[in-house]
Each structure stands twice: as C-alpha cells, then as structure tokens.
Amino acid sequence: MEEMPVRIEKSKIVSCFHCGEGCEDELLVRDEKNFCCTGCLTVYEVLNENNLCDYYDIEVTPGTNLKEQEIRDNRFDYLDDEDVINKLIDFRDEEQTHVTFTIPMIHCASCIWLLENLYKLDPGVTFSRVDFIKKKVQIKFSSKETSLKSIVKLLSRIGYEPRINLSDLGEERGLKSDKKLIYQLAVAGFCFGNMMFFSLPEYFSETELLGNGFNHLFNYLNILLALPVVFYSATDYFRSAWLAVRNRSVNMDVPIALGIISLFTYSLFEIFVTGQEGYLDTLGGLLFFLLVGKYYQQKTFDTLSFDRDYKAYFPIAITKMVKDREVVIPLTKLDVGDIVKVRNEELVPADSLLLDAKASIDYSFVTGEAIPVPVKKGELIYAGGRQKGGAIKLAVQKSPSQGYLTDLWNHDAFSKEEQKDSLASLANQISGKFTFTVLFIAFGALIYWGFSDVSIGVKAFTSVLIITCPCALAMSTPFTLGNVMRIFGKGGFYLKNTQVIEKLAGIDSLVFDKTGTLTAPSKAKVSYQGENLSEVSKRMIKALVNYSVHPLSNSINQWLGNIDPVLLHEVEEIPGKGLQAKYKSKTISLGSALFLGVGPTDNAGNMGNEVHLVIDGMYWGVFRIASSIREGIEKMVPDLANSYEVHLLSGDHNHEEQYLKKALGENVSMHFQQSPKSKLAHIRNMQEDRKRVLMVGDGLNDAGALKASEVGIAVTDNISHFSPASDGILDGGKLNHLPDYLDFAKTGRKIIKASFGLSFTYNAVGIFFAVQGLVSPVLCAILMPASSISVVLFTTIATNFQAYRKGLNDKEMILWK
C-alpha cells in the first residue's frame, strides 16, 4: 500500500530518509518515513523485505539520490553477451564466477555493510568483499543460480550501479610492478637494518674491545647481507642504466648504478684485502632510501593520473537497428555492415555511409572546424564526427577502433604549440647537462685524490656521485603542476595536461561568451506572448525545436514539456538565425526578429532574448527567454575587470546591454551579435597586439575561438558533454572560482621556481663538501633521497597550503590516510 505523492508547501521541506536530500518536488511517505523519489523508495522496500534495515542505523541517510536514474531498462542487455562477460569477469569455472566492479557511489560504512551482505538479497551470491579506497567490490556468485546481468541489475536497483567501462578492460594490472618494488624495498630494509647492527660496534668502540672472532664474523655477515641488496634490490637501477648506456645516452640512474658498483667493489676490496670494515652498511642505506624515494614518487604519480579518464567520454553503448527494433550493443561489438542510429549530439562511432536523406555532421572533434558539414544520402561520414540535429541511420563501413577515438583530444590539431619558456622544457634541458657535469666532477675528484690517498679518492668519487641529485629538477615541475591539476580536478575544473596550468599563469586578458557560460540555461525563465497556441501548433514547435541544440531552443523545448512531436520534413537550421520546416501544407519558422523580418516589438526595455514564431507567413507571437546570470558572477567579473582586460562576446542582440552593464560593471567591453566567425576574428586581433587571451565559452558554437585563444575553457553543466577544442572543462557551478584558479596557477609557477633554487643550492653545497671527501657516504646516502623527498614535500605542501588558504580544497592534509 503506497500513499499517493502529496504536494507540499515550500516552507516545510522534509529530508528523504534514504538519501537525506530535500523532498522538494515530491514526497512519498511509507511506514511514516518520507522519501524524495520513487528510486529511493524502491531501495528502501527492497532492503525492508530482506530485513537489511541495519543499513540505515550504521550511518545517517547513507543512500545516494536516485532521482535522475535512467529508467531505460534494456541498458544492461549487452551484459548477456558472452565475450563481454569474459572481458569483465576475473575468473570463472563451472560453479563459480568472480567479478570485480568499480562502484563510485561507495562512500560510507553502510555502503560497505550492504554490499557485503549481498548474499541476503540474491542467494546466488556466495561472497562479496569491498575495497573502500579503490571503491571496488569483488563478488563471487555461482554461475548456475544467477547471472552477471541480474547482479548488475540488482546493484543498480539498490542505488549502487557499477561503472562498467569497456575501454579500461585492456588496462594492464598496474599492481604487479608495484608489488615487485615493495619486495625489493622489504629486502633492502631488512638487510640494511641487520647490517647496521653488525657495523654498530665499528662506530662506537675501538675494535680490539670486540675480541678476536667477532670482527671478521661481522664483516662476513655484512657481505652475506649485502648480496641480496645489490643483486635483487638494485636490479632496476642497473637495467635502466644499462639501457641508457647501450643507446649512448645518459639518465639519472647511470650515476646511481656507478655509485653502487664502486661502493660494493671497494668494500669487498677493503674487507678481504686490508681487513677494514668497508662501506656495506652505507650501500644498504643508500639503496633502502633510494627505493623509499622511488615508492613515494610512484604513489604520488598514481594519484596524479588524470582523474577524468577521457576515454570514458565516448558512448559505450551504440543503438543498433535490428529490423527497425533498437538494440543496445557495446562499441567493441559493432562490426562492418551493422546499421546504427546516432542521435543528436552523439558521436559517429565508425566510418559509415549515411542512409537518411540528409545530416549535418560537426567534425570539430576531428579537424577542430566548428561549422557542421551537410552530408547527403550515401556519402561517407568519418568516425569522430558529431551529428547535429535529429537522429540519423548509418551503415558501418569500417570496424571502429577504440584507440583512434580516444586520443582525438590530444590530437596535434588541437594541441597548441609548445610554449617556449615553459618550465618543463627548461627542466629537461638542464637535467641532460646535469648528469654530464656530475660525472665530470666525480672523475675529476677521483683523479685529483688518486695521487695522494686512494681511499679518500674513492670516497669522494662515490659521495659526489651519490650526493648530487637531479631528481629535484626533474620531479619538482611534474609534482607541483600535477598537484595543482589534482586540486583543480577536485574543484570541478579538469585540464587536458599540465602545460595548460603554465599558460593559465601567463594570461592577461579574458573573453567570456554569454549564452550558456555566464547564463545558466537550466534556469532560464520562458514566457509566451501572442495568439494562444493550439495543440497542433505546440506539437509542431516541439518537433522543430527538437532538431536544434541551440540553448534557446533547449529552453523552449523544456518549456513545452513532454508532448510528442509531429513528423516534419525539410527541416532546416540556419545557424545564428533560426529554424524552418514544412508540416503538411504549412511552413513554420522560428527565430530571431531579423531572420523573420519582424519589426522590433515594444518590449525593448526588459531583459531576455526573443524568439518569434511565424506559421504560413502569419505572425503568431514571441517567446521571451530571460536567461538569468549564474550566481556569483556579478561579484567575479568586476574583480577580474580591475586586474585583467575583460571582454564579453554574445551571439544575440544587445537589448540586454543595460542590464549586463549594471550587473557586470562598467569596464567590461561588450560586443553583441557575434557569429562564431566574428568571435574567432576578435580573438585573433586581440592576439595581434600581443595579448594572451583566455576564452571561456560553452564550447558549442565557439569551438574555433576556444582553439585559437591561448587557453580555451569550456563551461558545461553535465561533464560528459564537451568539446575537444578546449584545454579544460569547468563545471558550471564552479565558474565563480575562476579568479582563484587563475592566481593559483601563478602561485604554482612561483613554487616551481623556488624549488629549482632550493635544489640548485643543495647540489652546489653537496658537491662542495663531497669533493673534499668530507662527507661520509652514509651521510650522502641519506642526503640524496632526503633532498628529492624534501623538494617533493616542499612543492606538495606549498601547493596544498596555498590551495587551503585560497579555500580551493577544504579537506585538511592527512599524510597517513
């Protein structure tokens, strides 16, 4: 028995029992608990039947909101497909199948509890374990009683839909190499620890106190323990050094390998020939700290890997036409000859022939040209193009390759030319020369001391090799920029790569697009003035607007609600002007006043652009769409204006100019009725007088301008919909943080420069002492990794601290978690 959803007034919004969000638009009450949507309610019912209600008392409102959950139920059909299953599962035999799902929604103890009690919901499941940090759940189920698809369906029903990503099936197990490093680290640590014990007496007391047998015993034990360190833990360094030397280049590992070999051989010489104790404990310490440094570096790089795996953008499921019935299949399953239906804004998955009469394909992905290319029946459409307008049917000519589609974004057509004075290139040049100078100084020291005292010579030689550390130069730039990128990523601002940050730091003028960027399309207020519209005319407008992707047509589409469109033919969209189509005998056109030749109406005063409606030449009325500016913009733009030169380009008329002037302040130079071409031209001539331009647009109709400017940022509301020409994607809600991001990029540059200085002074001082043989190898074995770690720590802490001060990331830094 389920009560009817009851309308509630604004003041008394009660929070949903399942997901804790306010139940604004509907309130379902069940066992005197209230739910915000049917999604949450169904989850509660499922749990209630299987007495799993502890889920709600481990954490308060643990569920995730299920309002906009797609209700297309054939979404998971492709999971019945045999070799998709083989790709997804980890292991299978006749009884048992193991599968590991990534479920981003896992966020609290209740999620863990529920997912680990799956066997209560589906008896087929025998085992389920959650890894909280990786947000993965491993499920074992008996192949007879249940299937992969039913489990995925169950999971999505209780609000934990796994993110299935066919593209990362090929992802090789990164874990293996990580484990090998930990084994090497453990061996090095164990041997280093023990060697320290046996060398400890050397440090503290005169040797004769040791008594006869022990001296040699400890030396031989040290050698015994040094063997695994040199021949197991150090293999990676030897291999990479050998590779570098083989093709006659030099990398960071060459001096290290040289240092290890010299230390080992010299210690053997000292123990066996002269009977002293040698430097084996230094060798152990050196390798232990090197591997610790490497482990730390690897872990930070893992976390820095670009959060948004852009491979995920491409539509995974393609709707294939089987005898005009739509079937959803995975991209990889598509093969030559299939007939595919591609809807508006979806990508053409593979080179294919057009079956419909006409289509307009936007190749901005492939070539960067924003203007859609009209294609006639039977012509070839290339993979990566995007259909503009209604759904079209295609016959696949070439089997799709996921790889080709994935690296479109970093395609050189989009990448801007390498910035001359970018810090990354500077670091590469220096580190190349650095290693040569170090080798030169080391051999110089060896020869210099060779005459007077060989042992100091060897000591100086090894300590110079070990103490100098180019890694600070090589590591500080990627670490800082990587960290900055990670912080941006957390703040909803995804960048293509780290060079973009450096360019951001160099920006001096900003260009904003109005529609879709400064204004939020979803919150537009639409009003209609004129003859009232009959049912048929509404359906005609609906069909017409359905074809176009323009923000204004989107708003009207939303305003009309979901009435089913009528079939139109000869639909034509004139970019920047309007839409025209024929229905039975009548022609209907919708567009700007200029396009329809209608005189300016009396409402010049108030805000919003107008879309006029003319049917069969008869003027019906006008849609007035007042787009409201995103909140926080009124404050942001004036601040930016006094430190940057701010321009506003907008495609529609200037009737909103006074309003915008009032809202955005005086010194913003505004230009209206800008077609995509004129926007591009505007950017070009700004660049002529040596301005470094940052263009912020919605990426739909200003792709060209985004590509031309130094840095192009596309503002979108749902992240999955983006334009490749941009260098970064900024979440609509976060636009008001733009000033923080800009000067945070500047601080990033300053931090890198500081770390260069730090590392340079360290190396200079280090070499100064090492050459005189004053520094014992133990000390430099500790100093070298300490220096690289200190640089990395310095950069990370500095960036986090700056971010914290700017309020970009509020979570406090916990090193251990």
Partner 1 sequence: MSGTTLEKFSYDNKIVKFFGAATMIWGLAGMLIGLLAATQLFLPEANLGNPYTTFGRIRPLHTNAVIFAFVGNAIFAGVYYSMPRLLKAPMWNKTLSWIHFWGWQAIILSAVITLPLGLTSSKEYAELEWPIDIAIAVIWVAFGANMIGTLIKRREKHMYVAIWFYLASFVTVAVLHIFNSLALPVSFMKSYSAYAGVQDALVQWWYGHNAVAFFLTTPFLGLMYYYLPKAANRPVFSYKLSIVHFWSLIFLYIWAGPHHLLYTALPEWAQVLGVAFSIMLLAPSWGGMVNGLLTLRGAWDKVRVDPVLKFMVVAVTAYGMATFEGPLLSIKSVNAIAHYTDWIVAHVHIGGLGWNGFLTFSMLYWLWPRMWRTKLFSVKLANTHFWLGTLGILFYALPMYVAALTQSLMWKEFADTGRLAYPNFLETVIQIVPMYMLRAFGGLLYLAGAILMVYNLVKTAAAGSFLEEEEDEAPALAKHVEEKNEFWHRAWERKPVFFTILATVAILIGGIVEIIPTILVKSNVPTISSVQPYTPLELQGRDLYIANGCVGCHSQMIRPFRFETERYGEYSKAGEYVYDRPFLWGSKRTGPDLHRVGGKYPDSWHYHHMVDPRSMSPGSLMPPYPWMTTNIMDHSNIGAKIRTMQKLGVPYEEGYDERALEDLQSQAKKIAGNLKESGIEVLPDTEIVALISYLQRLGTDIKKGGSGNE
Partner 2 sequence: MEVIFVLIGISLVMAGGFLWLFFKAMKGGQFDDQHTPAIRILFDQKTKSKANKKPPKKKK
Please identify, using beta-carbon distances, which residue of 125 and 340 lies nearer to partner 1.
125
| 35 in Cβ contact with 23 (< 8 Å) | yes
Separation CA 264–CA 270 (nearest Å) = 10
Q: Which does 183 bind (CB under 5 to 8 A by kind): partner 2, partner 1, none?
A: partner 2
3-state helix, strand, coil in the chain (%, to 5): 50, 20, 35
Question: Which secondary-structure segment (H or E) carries 230?
Answer: none
Please say which residue, 325 or 811, places its beta carbon nearer to partner 1: 811
89 phi/psi in degrees, rounded to 5: -85, 155
Three-class SS state of 590: strand
Nearest distance from residue 275's CB to partner 1, in Å? 18
- 272: partner contacted, choices partner 1, partner 2, none (Cβ within 5-8 A by kind): none
113 part of the interface to partner 2, by CB under 8 A: yes
Question: Cα(first)–Cα(last) distance of the chain, in Å?
Answer: 46
Q: E strands within 216-365?
A: 317-322, 325-330, 339-342, 352-354, 358-362
Out of 183, 220, 272, 768, which residue is the one contacting partner 2 (CB under 8 A)?
Answer: 183
Bridging pattern class, strands 645-649 and 509-513: parallel
CB distance 330 to 88 below 8 Å: no
Q: How far apart are CA 613 and CA 579, in angstroms?
A: 10
Output 1 or 133, the one with its CB closest to partner 2: 133
Check binding of 599 to partner 2 (CB under 8 A).
no
The reply on whether position 211 binds partner 2 by CB under 8 A is: yes
* Identity of the residue, 205 or 527, whose beta carbon is nearer to partner 1 in the bound complex: 205
Nearer to partner 1, 8 or 196 (CB): 196
For residues 726 and 713, the answer to whether their CB atoms sit within 8 Å is yes
Options 125-133, 348-356, 403-411, 632-640: segment touching partner 2 (CB under 8 A): 125-133
Cα–Cα distance, 625 to 609 (Å, whole number): 6
214-222, 241-249, 474-482, 697-705 -> range binding partner 2 (CB under 8 A)? 214-222
- 185: partner contacted, choices partner 1, partner 2, none (Cβ within 5-8 A by kind): none
Kindly state whether residue 109 participates in binding partner 2, applying the rule CB under 8 A.
Answer: yes
Number of residues that bind partner 2 (CB under 8 A): 25
By the rule CB under 8 A, 182 interacts with partner 2: yes
Taking CB under 8 A as the criterion, the residue among 27, 112, 252, 257 binding partner 2 is: 112
What does 130 interact with, of partner 1, partner 2, none (CB < 5 to 8 A by kind)? partner 2
Min. distance of Cβ 187 from partner 2 in angstroms? 8
Rounded to whole angstroms, what are the CA distances from 295 to 289, 447, 487, 582, 815? 10, 35, 22, 67, 15
**Smallest Cα–Cα separation from 481: which of 496, 494, 504, 499?**
499
| C-alpha span between 541 and 559 (Å, rounded) | 11
Asked if 590 contacts 604 with a C-beta cutoff of 8 angstroms, the reply is no
CB of residue 210 vs partner 1: minimum separation in angstroms? 6
Q: Which two tokens stand for residue 816?
A: 């251990």
Q: Which of residues 158-177 bind partner 2 (CB under 8 A)?
A: 175
Q: Which stretch binds partner 2 (CB under 8 A): 123-131, 373-381, 537-545, 689-697?
A: 123-131
| Smallest separation, CB 111 to partner 1 (Å) | 14
Is the sign of the CA dihedral 775, 779, 784, 786 positive or negative?
Answer: negative
Judged by the rule CB under 8 A, the positions of this chain that interact with partner 1 are 91, 93, 95-96, 109, 119, 126-127, 129, 140, 142, 190, 193, 197, 200-201, 204-205, 209-211, 816-817
Q: What is the rounded distance in angstroms from the CA atom of residue 84 to the CA atom of residue 232? A: 40
What is the C-alpha separation between 46 and 62, in angstroms, rounded? 15
CA distance 155 to 142: 17
Q: Is 200 in the site for partner 2 (CB under 8 A)?
A: no
Q: What is the closest distance, in whole angstroms, from the C-beta atom of residue 198 to partner 2 in the complex?
A: 8
Say whether residue 134 binds partner 2 (CB under 8 A).
Answer: yes
Nearest distance, CB of residue 174 and partner 1, angstroms: 16
Give the SS3 label for residue 597. coil
Q: Which stretch binds partner 2 (CB under 8 A): 75-83, 132-140, 470-478, 644-652?
A: 132-140
Give the interface with partner 2 as residue ranges (CB under 8 A): 51, 54, 58, 109, 112-113, 116, 129-134, 175, 179, 182-183, 186, 190, 194, 211, 214, 217, 221, 817
